[in-house]
């Protein structure tokens, strides 16, 4: 029987949001609106009087390559998006080289998708909710090192600045075929109102508040209205000036939902419209987006004084370039709606029905790696020739070919909504128009340093997973122990023959491994 963990002085914990930029060059994006919130939420598991906790966000601060800091912690906690799995390996290799006794914990969608594979590299793989961090902390350091309340450590999240980030619900009540939440199949959950109140108060007084819920509206309108009442009360008390949230299209079925949100202080809503093509929405099993015509949905929201932003998916695997160009031409010629915040390629996230269908039909491109699942790299066999699609993807980053439409759109949008939206809302909306004219870093959510933008001139991207270059970060920043040199090789999920690599196939398919070869991407 193992002996219980020894009680000791303060333990040192470093929590890092691992990040690989889609520009494939080392950079930072400090002005990104939607910030990484995994680190402060995880930090809440550690008792303040028993642990010294530090956070690092590679998206806001750039790659972590500080030898002293990497050798500092007793425990290194890593989180990040699917495409950042390799970056977690890099950071673990650095930390173990500097401190062989460090305990490395990892979580995030890639870890939950590849639990057996991830267990080869990390001491603890978090497959559950954020509260699991408390169990790991107690196991490693003893129960007195665990904070039972687990309130997010906003005081350590230096990158938040004027934007507070809080969460009032978890997961989503819809199951879109391409979404990583569909792969995990976790039930939609609502926070107790008192927990939400304490979370907002712990965030401190901020200019703006952003709800990072995957679906702020959810499936219980009574709870939604109760949350709005609480949010409005805290706004009147000066905790924040305005808020934004992410909702699904069914939110707009009732016009009074928008009005209720606006009265509570809502200025911006994000909704994943994905496409203006009804057949495409069916393929994605995004039937909730068919409750209202897309243009009417956006226009209704804007007319009520709430800015609506959205993203589009350019699915070159099921639509021709000419069709997608026609859709983009329609959007950029329509001043009744905002321009898309981003236009990305479909991402075949492992474990989803979309991924399983593509894998069974042999439509994933050879030599695709986890790193390539970033929305700007083609990983799926397209309908049009690959070289034509690659040019289309390059042009997509700035909507090249639609720029005069974008300029006209900006003026038309201003004429239509200049008196309905606030100056701040107009600035956000028109900044997106200007960003699409030549600053792709703004389109993707934040401005990179000028040196990084200029440095891109020397980069040659193919935008095709089979031939795409790797980031400089795959070359160690400093020597690592021999046992960890292989950790800087990319994690390949599709072999040269176009089939899933055998040692990962079952994990990559997840619970959809038994699906038939066709008809599942719906």
Q: What is the mean pLDDT of residues 290-295?
A: 79
With beta carbons less than 8 A apart as the criterion, state whether 316 and 392 touch: yes
With beta carbons less than 8 A apart as the criterion, state whether 13 and 55 touch: no
pLDDT at residue 8 greater than cutoff 60: no
With beta carbons less than 8 A apart as the criterion, state whether 332 and 405 touch: yes
Residues 479-508 have pLDDT tens digits of 999 999 999 999 999 999 999 999 999 999
Q: What is the mean pLDDT of residues 188-205?
A: 95
Out of 88-92, 287-291, 455-459, give the one with best mean pLDDT. Answer: 88-92
Strand 242-247, strand 189-190: pairing = unpaired
pLDDT at residue 444 greater than cutoff 80: no
Q: What is the mean pLDDT of residues 196-216?
A: 94
Q: What is the mean pLDDT of residues 112-128?
A: 96
Report d(CA 148, CA 471) in Å as an integer. 40
Instruction: Give me the residues paired with residue 54 across strands.
Output: 14
Out of 81-90, 250-259, 276-285, 388-397, give the one with best mean pLDDT. Answer: 81-90
**CB burial string 128-166: b at 16+ within 10 A, e below:** eebebbbebbeebbbeebbbeebbbbbeebebbeebbbb
Report d(CA 310, CA 429) in Å as an integer. 11
Q: What is the mean pLDDT of residues 86-97?
A: 98
Residue with tokens 């389109």: 443
Structure tokens at 197: 């109140």
Report d(CA 177, CA 348) in Å as an integer. 10
User: Nearest CA to 44 among 144, 155, 206?
Assistant: 155
pLDDT at residue 516 greater than cutoff 70: no
Task: Write down the pLDDT at residue 67.
Answer: 97
Residues 29-69 have pLDDT tens digits of 888 878 899 999 999 999 999 999 999 999 999 999 999 99
pLDDT-derived band at 287, boundaries 50, 70, 90: low
Exposed/middle/buried for 178, CB within 10 Å: 0-12, 13-18, 19+? buried
**Which CATH architecture describes the domain 11-145?**
3-Layer(aba) Sandwich (3.40)
pLDDT at residue 521 greater than cutoff 80: no
Structure tokens at 311: 């993203």
DSSP 287-342: GGGGSS-HHHHHHHHHHTT-EEEEEEE--TTTS-HHHHHHHHHHHHT-TTSPPPSE
Report d(CA 35, CA 389) in Å as an integer. 31
Helix (H) or strand (E) holding 101: none
Q: What is the mean pLDDT of residues 93-111?
A: 97
How many percent of the chain have pLDDT more than 70?
Answer: 91
DSSP assigned state of 486: G
How many percent of the chain have pLDDT more than 90?
Answer: 74
DSSP assigned state of 380: B
Please say whether the structural domain 163-456 has been given the CATH code 3.80.30.20: yes
pLDDT at residue 320 greater than cutoff 50: yes
With beta carbons less than 8 A apart as the criterion, state whether 449 and 376 touch: no
Say whether 52 sits in a helix, a strand or coil.
strand
pLDDT at residue 445 greater than cutoff 90: no
What are the residues whose beta carbons fall under 8 Å from the beta carbon of 438, sequence distance 6 or more?
Answer: 398
Phi then psi dihedrals of residue 500, to 5 deg: -60, 140
Q: What is the mean pLDDT of the chain?
A: 89
Domain ranges in the chain are 11-145, 163-456
């Amino acid at each position: 029987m193992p002996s219980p963990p020894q009680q000791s002085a303060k333990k040192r914990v470093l929590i890092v949001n691992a990040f690989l930029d889609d520009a494939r060059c080392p950079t930072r994006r400090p002005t990104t609106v939607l910030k990484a919130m995994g680190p402060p939420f995880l930090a809440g598991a550690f008792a303040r009087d028993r642990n010294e906790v530090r956070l690092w966000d590679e998206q806001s601060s750039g790659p972590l390559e500080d030898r002293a800091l990497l050798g500092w912690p007793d425990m290194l906690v890593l989180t990040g998006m699917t495409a950042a799995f390799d970056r977690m390996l890099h950071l673990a290799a650095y930390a173990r080289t500097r401190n062989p006794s460090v305990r490395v914990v990892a979580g995030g969608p890639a870890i939950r998708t590849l639990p057996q594979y991830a267990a080869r590299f990390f001491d603890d793989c978090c497959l559950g909710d954020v509260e699991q961090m408390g169990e790991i902390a107690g196991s490693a350091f003893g129960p007195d090192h665990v904070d039972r309340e687990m309130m997010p450590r906003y005081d350590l999240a230096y990158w938040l600045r004027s934007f507070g980030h809080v969460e009032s619900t978890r997961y989503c009540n819809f199951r879109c075929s391409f979404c990583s939440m569909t792969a995990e199949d976790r039930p939609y959950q609502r926070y107790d109102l008192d927990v939400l109140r304490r979370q907002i108060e712990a965030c401190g007084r901020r200019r703006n508040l952003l709800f990072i819920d995957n679906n702020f509206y959810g499936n219980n309108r009574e709870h939604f209205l109760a949350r709005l009442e609480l949010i409005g009360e805290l706004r009147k008390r000066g905790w924040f000036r305005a808020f934004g949230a992410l909702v699904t299209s069914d939110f707009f079925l009732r016009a009074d939902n928008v009005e209720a949100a606006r009265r509570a202080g809502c200025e911006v809503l994000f909704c994943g419209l994905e496409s203006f093509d009804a057949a495409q929405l069916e393929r994605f099993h995004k039937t909730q987006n068919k409750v209202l015509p897309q243009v009417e949905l956006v226009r209704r929201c804007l007319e009520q004084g709430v800015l609506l932003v959205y993203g589009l998916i350019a699915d070159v695997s099921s639509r021709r370039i000419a069709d997608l160009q026609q859709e983009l031409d329609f959007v950029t010629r329509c001043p009744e709606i905002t321009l898309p915040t981003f236009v990305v390629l479909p991402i075949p996230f492992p474990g989803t029905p979309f991924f399983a269908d593509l894998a069974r039909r042999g439509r994933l491109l050879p030599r695709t790696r986890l790193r390539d699942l970033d929305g700007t790299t083609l990983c799926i066999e397209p309908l049009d020739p690959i070289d034509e699609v690659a040019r289309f993807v390059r042009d997509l980053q700035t909507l090249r070919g639609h720029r005069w439409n974008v300029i006209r759109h900006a003026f038309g949008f201003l004429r239509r909504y200049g008196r309905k939206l606030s100056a701040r809302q107009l600035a956000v909306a028109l900044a997106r128009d200007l960003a699409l004219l030549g600053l792709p870093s703004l389109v993707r959510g934040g401005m990179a340093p000028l040196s990084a933008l200029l440095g891109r001139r020397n980069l040659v991207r193919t935008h095709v997973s089979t031939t795409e270059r790797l980031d400089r970060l795959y070359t160690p920043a400093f020597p690592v122990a021999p046992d960890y040199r292989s950790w800087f090789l990319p994690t390949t999920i599709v072999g040269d023959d176009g089939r899933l690599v055998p040692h990962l196939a079952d994990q990559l398919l997840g619970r959809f491994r038994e699906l038939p070869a066709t008809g599942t991407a719906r």
